[in-house]
Homo-oligomer: A and B are copies of this chain.
């Protein structure tokens, strides 16, 4: 038997997993490498961070997803480098040769050169981030209940979210629900509804990538949830008990013990290594610029897809780092490989924007489709439906549905566990 074309896919997110699945019937040997053993449905991670869902509800074991796909194997491993000349990826504990490499390792948060802010203002990318932020939010209310000094209590009850993209907006909405509904009768001394939720955004409106009319509706919905919106405001400092912001009017210090980061992304480290090896241009966010067919310069056998890729051949600026782009690029990569195996080629990748959406707390959302924009309850139902549809495992779809229905009708969020290291005294 002649050896089959070996495809290595690094990263089991939306892009990598879709690429693997789209190669189901191709005469190839696929190795999907991920350092986690599960695919994560990141768009719902904010619900883990706010106690509405459990991590397992938005995760699907990669081996389970691909168990019936005989041409694919899963390798749990951490890729540290790629030897492009030798056509092999380097793991922490081994190496894997390839004929075609698909890199889909995504991005992490970007602190604009202030990596010291990371432990004070965590971002939301992994399940551990989700449970850590959940613990941070819940402990803030616990600390407020124990605090006797009014100024310090107020700082415990102030939550600053940096960045008003979809994640920031969704976090702000969910936090407001926690404070006003979920925890309503939970405390005896402190009143959780006194919590201040401040959404800080550098540009002039929330949801900056969306049309202005939807930004306005989202802002109105957030204000109804008593979220304070501070647009035109940049963060210049994050301290243990405060955030320093800069506006047109000058600098200001906001006392706050909980700061969550939903601004800026940075390509994962493999992007830098690939750019160095191939001469691809690296943008400010550490993403290599890819060719129109998603390959790197001089290396048609190396494809970069998803959040890690800077694809600037369509909109004049890089495509947004959303699941849709990653999935379409994963499909394209698979198609391209199949075409090449038959000695053909494909026209360049084109992104088809099927619309965008964001939810803002209970029964409110904004939806932008190519032919329609709407908001409110109908948009929220559409948001629910689409998100349920894209969750990978059927059991998880069912569990998420039960929990959403329950959370909606009871105003409750039962996954609000404080886990991890012993947190006493709470002041630390």
Contacts and interface: CB of A to CB of B under 8 A. Distances in A.
Contact of A422 (B35, B422, B427): B35
B128 A420 contact: yes
Contact of A56 (B77, B187, B414): B414
Number of copies: 2
A239 to B, nearest CB: 22
A101 B424 CA distance: 22
B417 A56 contact: yes
Contacts of A184: 67
A57 interface: yes
Nearest to A52: B56
B92 A424 contact: yes
Interface string A374-417: 00000000000000000001011011001100100010101111
A426 interface: yes
A396 B407 CA distance: 12
A93 interface: yes
A64 B398 contact: no
A76 B426 contact: yes
Contacts of A146: 75-76, 93-94
Nearest to A418: B37
A185 interface: yes
Nearest to A67: B185
B61 A417 contact: yes
A186 interface: yes
A138 B402 contact: no
Name, among A36, A37, A67, A183, the residue most crowded by chain B CB atoms within 10 Å (CB to CB): A37
9 contacts: A37-B142, A63-B186, A64-B414, A64-B416, A76-B146, A395-B403, A395-B406, A395-B414, A399-B399
